[in-house]
Amino acid sequence: MSFIRTQRLARFLFQGLWYLGLSLIGLFGLCLITGCQDGTSLVDKGIENQVLHVGNGLEPQELDPHIITGISEIKIVSALFEGLIGQAP
């Protein structure tokens, strides 16, 4: 009878160690994946490369200033032409 209890205890301990080892491997993999990131955000990269990122709501249908009718197109075209045109003094 004690042999059966010992065998059950050994099986229980082995299963516990198996789950513990599997959990530790998963935790190590998760730490490895999150620790290997570059650490710089898109904002930092944009500042470094002198790039301005602007989010528009919809994809523009047209960028011809004579044809556009949507607000998102108007915002994009006005941003494109902002430094190119101005009022005469």
6 pLDDT more than 80:
no
Residue 67's pLDDT is what?
A: 92
Summarize pLDDT for 59-77 with one digit per residue, the tens: 888 889 899 988 888 988 8
pTM: 0.42
The residues near 77 (Cβ < 8 Å, ≥ 6 apart) are 63, 65, 68
Q: DSSP string covering the chain, please?
A: -HHHHHHHHHHHHHHHHHHHHHHHHHHHHHHHHHHTS----HHHHHHHHT------SS--S---TTT--SHHHHHHHHHHHTTT-----
Which pair of structure tokens corresponds to residue 11? 């099986």
Summarize pLDDT for 27-56 with one digit per residue, the tens: 998 888 877 777 778 888 889 999 877 788
Per-residue confidence band for 20, with pLDDT thresholds at 50, 70 and 90? confident
Cβ atoms of residues 70 and 60 within 8 Å: yes
